[in-house]
């Protein structure tokens, strides 16, 4: 079995983002970038399946600017066998990303495609489902447990009401939740080894995919600030304030 | 120009967030048609027809739709799409799973999780865990939009009498199969719609200690929430998680107990009307969004809080 894992380079989850003064977006210069957190879970799961002997190869693919190579390299350092970088500058919407991934899937013919359930920058939560639609493959979204069977996967999904279990035929797309596993850290020797692993470089136009955005981002602004609150000295004062000032209890 | 809104339900009852989605859809266009795909779901279709905002109900009653699988839902929506300018549903796990599958097949770039309708093609949506808001304009012929339910008031549930149209079943897919749902039944208000939410974090130290939260929740008729850390640690199940990748809540009162306030948690609760933080670390970021902060050990504060609530003559429910 062959597993393709899509990884995205995003602003690190610990960074307090700043909106650009001209409203054109958020500041990304000199800001720490990392792998989108649930994409780390996707890579981890693929590598674990390979280690269990059920998969032969794990390929990491990223769509983004030149520097997204670092994100692919990091996936190689935790166990992916080879990488693919599809270079695109500027905003690429999930629809375009899914079309690019469709081309990669047609070329590489993986049995499974894993990725994070949502990117923490645009918070779209679309790419996996869109890719599943374009390929006419089943989708198992928000996965917190994956059981690999002969020709199918049993996947536990985190849904609003609790947990749902579905079975999907292989080939399939799985989008991963943060609770799927505990991503490992790359060891220094593995980081060194990853430098020798191949990364194929492609561009969206090589693949014949139009990445022109369909959605115009008119402006980006900061959310309204909450007015500063107060500290109360005791539980009695808290209850009194909630009752008589805020009038919520 | 009309809106096709996809209803979420359990074949007996409409899920409350569909009401919020319907009211958002009405802001785009008054001609709101609701698609109910279900099995033995006549009561759902009838309930939807009584919502005054709804002009038409399209009901497809077939065992194929007994359990919700996006693979089975899409072909019908695609077939109906040609008559609509907008396809909408709520941005909870139901809609997040479904809408992109529809949008991609229609070659449409979806607008996710809107919090405001600015015009029929322009919407406001949070990005970066709600630390920024983007105004976006879709240029696609049909707009595929998911709605953040807590940003819109629910539509009224009575007074309407929309026509119910029965349509033909769509294609059946054997790509995926429903196995089971472990639904946690509770008599408490739903987290997404509760007037009061009390949440516990890593500071609770154990699942057992959540009984302190439960006692206060019982008194206030509150829903119980949790930070991701508390869910990851196994103190409480995932359906309680509030945050960027969990649920977004906007109650009148949100009480955060033993929650430090990571950006990702704040994303799920900082629009609440009144926020209370109880934490023994006075520097915890949760205090920066709290209207009332109490720097105290939660194991002292929660029993005392309950005691004080018990002294009150009346408590709003």
pLDDT in tens, B7-23: 999 999 999 999 999 99
Write out chain A's pLDDT in tens, 249 residues: 999 999 999 999 999 999 999 999 999 999 999 999 999 999 999 999 999 999 999 999 999 999 999 999 999 999 999 999 999 988 999 999 999 999 999 999 999 999 999 999 999 999 999 999 999 999 999 999 999 999 999 999 999 989 999 999 999 999 999 999 999 999 999 999 999 999 999 999 999 999 999 999 999 999 988 887 999 999 999 999 999 999 999
Map tokens 């979806």 to a residue. B110
Distance in angstroms (rounded) separating the CA atoms of residues B244 and B250: 13
Chain B residue numbers touching A130 (CB-CB < 8 A): 100-101, 103-104, 110
* Cβ neighbours for B94, distance < 8 A, ≥ 6 positions apart: A159, A160, B8, B15, B17, B68
Range of the domain at A209: 2-245
Residue B180 to residue A164, Cβ atoms within 8 A: yes
Q: ipTM of the predicted structure?
A: 0.95
How confident is residue B185, by pLDDT bands cut at 50, 70 and 90? confident
List the 5-34 stretch of A: residues with Cβ below 8 A of B: 11, 13-14, 16-17, 19, 26
Structure tokens at B152: 């819109």
Average pLDDT, chain B: 96
What phi and psi, each to the nearest 5 degrees, are found at residue A132? Answer: -60, -40
pLDDT of residue B245: 86
B166 pLDDT band (50/70/90 cuts)? very high
In this structure, what token pair is assigned to residue B18? Answer: 């569909």
User: What are the start and end residues of each CATH 3.40.50.1220 domain in chain B?
Assistant: 196-311
Min Cα distance B154 → chain A (Å) is: 18
pLDDT at residue B187 in the model: 85
Query: How far off is chain B from A170, nearest CA to CA, in Å?
Result: 8
Residue B317 has pLDDT above 80, yes or no: no
Determine whether the interchain pair B290/A229 forms a contact, defined as Cβ–Cβ distance below 8 Å: yes
Three-point CA angle A200, A5, A130, nearest 5°: 110
Structure tokens at A211: 């990445």
Which residues of A fall within a CB distance of 8 Å from B96? 125, 129, 141-142
Strands (E), chain A: 2-6, 9-11, 33-35, 57-64, 82-87, 112-116, 139-148, 152-159, 162-169, 172-176, 199-203, 215-221, 230-232
Mean pLDDT along residues B120-141: 96
Beta-carbon contacts of residue B111 (< 8 Å; ≥ 6 apart): A215, B123, B125, B136, B138, B143, B144, B145, B146
Q: How far apart are CA B23 and CA A6, in angstroms?
A: 36
> Whole-angstrom Cα distance, residue A34 to residue B8?
36
Could you give the CA distance from residue A138 to residue B74 in angstroms, rounded to a whole number? 12
Residue in chain B nearest A222 by alpha carbon: B132
Put simply, the answer to whether B292 touches A243 (Cβ < 8 Å) is: no
Q: Return the pLDDT at A51.
A: 98
Give the domain CATH number at A81: 3.40.50.620
Instruction: Count up the domains in chain A and report the number.
Output: 1
CA distance B212 to chain A (A): 15
d(CA B238, CA B246): 8
Q: Phi and psi for B158 in degrees, rounded to 5?
A: -140, 165
Q: Which residues of B touch A215 (CB under 8 A)?
A: 109, 111, 136-139
pLDDT at B1 over 90: no
Query: Closest Cα partner for A117 from A142, A91, A146?
Result: A142
Check CB contact of A150 with chain B, cutoff 8 Å. Answer: no
Residue that is written with structure tokens 């709003």 in the block: B316
From B260, B263, B269, B264, select the one nearest B295 (Cα to Cα): B260
Residue B74: list chain A partners with CB under 8 A: 133
Which residue in B has a C-alpha nearest to residue A120's C-alpha? B128
Higher pLDDT residue, B184 or B141? B141
Q: How many other C-beta atoms are found inside a 10 Å radius of the C-beta of residue A189?
A: 9
CA dihedral A108, A109, A112, A115 (to 10 degrees): 40
For residue B94, the SS3 value is helix
Query: How far is Cα A155 from Cα A146, in angstroms, rounded to an integer?
Result: 5
Q: Cα separation of A216 and A233, whole Å?
A: 49
Mean pLDDT of B247-273: 95
Contact present, A79 and A70 (Cβ < 8 Å) = no
Enter the CATH code of domain B3-166. Answer: 3.40.50.620
**List of residues 6+ apart from B251 with CB closer than 8 A:** B194, B195, B196, B197, B222, B223, B272, B273
Contact B288, A234 (CB under 8 A): no
Average pLDDT over residues B161-178: 95
Minimum distance, in Å, between the CA of residue A195 and any CA atom of chain B: 31
Candidates 1.10.760.10, 3.40.50.1220, 3.30.70.260, 3.30.2290.10; correct CATH number of B196-311? Answer: 3.40.50.1220
Residue B184 has pLDDT above 80, yes or no: no
For residue range A132-155, list pLDDT tens digits in order: 999 999 999 999 999 999 999 999
The residue ranges of DSSP E strands in B175-281, in sequence order, are: 176-183, 196-200, 223-226, 253-257, 274-279
Report the pLDDT averaged over residues B240-269. 95
Query: Closest Cα to residue B258, out of B220, B208, B213?
Result: B213
Tokens of B154: 């629910």
């Amino acid at each position: 079995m062959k597993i393709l894992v899509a990884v995205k380079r995003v602003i690190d989850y610990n960074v307090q983002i700043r909106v650009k003064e001209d409203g054109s977006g958020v500041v990304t210069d000199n800001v720490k970038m990392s792998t989108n957190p649930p994409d780390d879970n996707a890579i981890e799961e693929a590598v674990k399946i390979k280690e269990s002997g059920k998969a032969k190869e794990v390929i990491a693919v990223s769509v983004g600017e030149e520097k997204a190579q670092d994100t692919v390299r990091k996936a190689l350092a935790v166990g992916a066998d080879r990488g693919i970088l599809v270079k695109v500058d500027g905003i690429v919407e999930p629809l375009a990303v899914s079309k690019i991934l469709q081309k990669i899937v047609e070329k590489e013919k993986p049995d499974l495609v894993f990725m994070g359930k949502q990117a923490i920058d645009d918070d779209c939560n679309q790419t996996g489902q869109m890719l599943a639609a374009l390929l006419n493959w089943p989708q198992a979204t928000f996965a917190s447990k994956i059981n690999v069977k002969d020709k199918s996967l049993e996947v536990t999904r985190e849904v609003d009401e609790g947990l749902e279990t579905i079975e999907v035929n292989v080939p399939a797309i799985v989008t991963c939740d943060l609770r799927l596993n505990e991503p490992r850290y790359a060891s220094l020797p593995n980081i060194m080894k990853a430098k020798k692993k191949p990364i194929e470089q492609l561009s969206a136009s090589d693949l014949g995919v139009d990445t022109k955005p369909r959605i115009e981002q008119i402006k980006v602004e900061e959310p309204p600030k909450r007015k500063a609150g107060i500290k109360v000295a005791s539980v009695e004062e808290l209850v009194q304030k909630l009752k008589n000032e805020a009038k919520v209890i | 120009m009309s809106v096709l809104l996809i209803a979420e339900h359990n074949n007996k009852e409409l899920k409350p967030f569909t009401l919020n989605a319907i009211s958002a859809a009405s802001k785009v266009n008054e001609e709101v048609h609701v698609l109910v795909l279900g099995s033995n779901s006549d009561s759902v279709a009838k309930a939807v027809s009584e919502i005054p905002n709804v002009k038409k109900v399209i009901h497809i009653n077939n065992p194929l739709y007994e359990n919700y699988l996006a693979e089975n839902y899409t072909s019908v929506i695609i077939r109906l799409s040609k008559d609509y300018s907008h396809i909408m549903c709520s941005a909870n796990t139901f809609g997040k799973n479904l809408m992109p599958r529809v949008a991609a097949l229609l070659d449409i770039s979806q607008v996710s999780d809107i919090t405001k309708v600015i015009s029929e093609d322009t919407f406001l949506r949070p990005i970066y865990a709600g630390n920024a808001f983007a105004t976006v304009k879709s240029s696609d012929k049909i707009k595929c939009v998911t709605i953040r339910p807590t940003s819109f008031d629910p539509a009224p549930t009575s007074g309407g009498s929309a026509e119910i149209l029965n349509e033909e079943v769509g294609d059946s897919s054997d790509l995926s199969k429903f196995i089971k749902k472990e639904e946690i039944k509770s008599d408490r208000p739903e987290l997404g719609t509760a007037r009061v939410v009390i949440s516990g974090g890593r500071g609770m130290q154990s699942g057992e200690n959540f009984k302190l939260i439960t006692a206060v929740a019982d008194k206030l008729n509150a829903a119980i929430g949790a930070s991701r850390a508390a869910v990851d640690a196994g103190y409480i199940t995932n359906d309680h998680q509030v945050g960027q990748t969990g649920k977004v809540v906007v109650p009148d009162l949100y009480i955060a107990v033993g929650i430090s306030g990571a950006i990702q948690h704040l994303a799920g609760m900082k629009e609440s009307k009144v926020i209370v933080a109880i934490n023994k670390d006075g520097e915890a970021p949760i205090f920066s969004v709290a209207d009332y902060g109490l720097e105290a050990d939660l194991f002292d504060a929660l029993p005392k809080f309950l005691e004080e609530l018990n002294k009150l003559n009346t408590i709003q429910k």
